[in-house]
Structure 1
Amino acid sequence: MNELSCLLEGILFASGEPVYEEKLRQVLGIDAEQLHRLAQELADSYDAEKRGFQIIRLQDSYQMVSRAEYADTIRRALEVRRTPSLSAAALEVLSIVAYRQPVTRAYIEQLRGVDSSNTVLNLLDKGLLEGCGRLDVPGRPMIYRTTPAFLRAFSISSLDELPDLPELRELEEKRESEQEEAGS
């Protein structure tokens, strides 16, 4: 293993959180292609050796994480409670935000047809959603987006990996037609 690989491994291990590619390139003094190659070589070696951890890529960052297949044993060893599964309402809100971000709570509620403030607050508390500014309209409502924790929770490295969701498009069209009918 060369020195750059060791440095990358050490940084990712010590961080415990995602580290942005730009920061890694700057600190290691390498370009994007070299970084991707180093990270892939490390990931491949961990896979070949069946190590208890792996390197994952999350959009524009990398993180060292324990392997999913060892999660139950790791939780028992660390006496960490399993995170509760998400409710149907939470999954619905996450889907709307993931596919249409950034969005306001009003937009979410318009699509769902129900008050979603508690669900949004719970997802903010869980770190799956985050505020990312305010809309430049009267009242300046908060706008929301998904987080790297969302990507990790659903084992994807970027939003581009989300499957096409025609149901969301149909739901939007249905709400728009209902609004047009109510306005007539």
Structure 2
Amino acid sequence: MELKPALEAVLMVVDEPATEEHLAKVLERPRREVADALRELADEYDVQGRGFQLRLVAGGWRYYTRPEYAQAVESFVLDGQQARLTQAALETLAVVAYRQPVSRSRVSAVRGVNCDGVMRTLLQRGLVEEAGAEPETGAILYRTTNYFLERMGLRGLDELPELAPFLPEAEAIEAETQEGVPSFDPDAPDAPDSEHADDKTEL
């Protein structure tokens, strides 16, 4: 088999980014040869101005719609329906991304509102996952997933936008809200009964 057409055929059916190691194993070719072929394909698509791109994201390769044609694809797939995260979900996801691993109570403290419902939504969508427990409290910690990187188009967390200009303000907000939000994390040992939870729960 010719390598490039074989790579194209495989990448057309993957449901998550495929690593160079996996592709090399499947096609029984040296990893370096596969890596070079992938980069050549990506360059060829760019030069030809195709409606799709071959990109290295979250440690693997996958086809993506070229950004300038995203509106056409969105119109076709969603048929005018919106399928986006709410503002609350986006804010919660941002806190997890920049402070991970982090407990739900810490996320709630930063935002100043109970985030349990939003966290459950992010877990169900596969954007965050459990990452062990906090030694001091036993509360479950959370981090972003490879699927998050894939959806954001990032190779790794080091490609997240610089947050330094906003850190002082974020730290001040957390300091002001920490005492008012003792524990919204139901996984923490001393978490309040759900029937008596703060009325500020955000769904």
Instruction: List runs of 5+ in structure 2 lacking aligned partners.
Output: 180-203
Structure 2 matches for 1:150-169, cutoff 5 A? Answer: 150-166=148-164, 167-168=166-167
Q: CA deviation at 1:24?
A: 1.9
Q: How does 1:84-103 map to 2 (within 5 A)?
A: 84-103=83-102
Is the aligned partner of 1:4 residue 2:3?
A: yes
Pairwise CA distance, 1:174: 5.3
Check whether the contact 2:109–2:177 (CA below 8 A) recurs between aligned residues.
Answer: no
Aligned length in residues: 177
Per the alignment, residue 16 of structure 2 pairs with 17
Of the two structures, which has the highest relative contact order with CA contacts closer than 8 Å and spacing of 6 or more?
A: 2
List alignment gaps of at least 5 residues for structure 1. none
Aligned to 1:30: 30
C-alpha distance in structure 1 between counterparts of 2:21 and 2:35, whole Å: 12
Secondary structure of the residue that 1:172 maps to in structure 2? helix
What TM-score, normalized to structure 1? 0.77
In structure 2, C-alpha distance between the alignment counterparts of 1:141 and 1:118, rounded to whole Å: 16
Give distance in 2, aligned partners of 1:171 and 1:163.
15
Q: CA deviation at 1:173?
A: 5.6
- Letter in structure 1 aligned against 2:30: I
Query: What does residue range 51-62 of structure 1 map to in structure 2 within 5 Å?
Result: 51-62=50-61
**Displaced runs of 4+ in structure 1, greater than 6 A?**
none
Which residue is equivalent to 1:142? 140
| Code of the aligned partner of 1:30 | P
SS in 2 for 1:19: coil
Q: Percent identity?
A: 36
**3-state SS of the aligned residue for 2:97?**
helix
Q: Are residues 115 and 74 of structure 1, via their aligned partners in 2, closer, same or farther at CA, if it must alter by over 3 Å?
A: same
CA distance in 1, matches of 2:81, 2:170: 33
Residues 152 and 68 (structure 1), Cα distance of their counterparts in 2 relative to 1, 3 Å cut: farther
- Structure with the largest fraction of helix: 1
| Larger Rg over CA atoms | 2
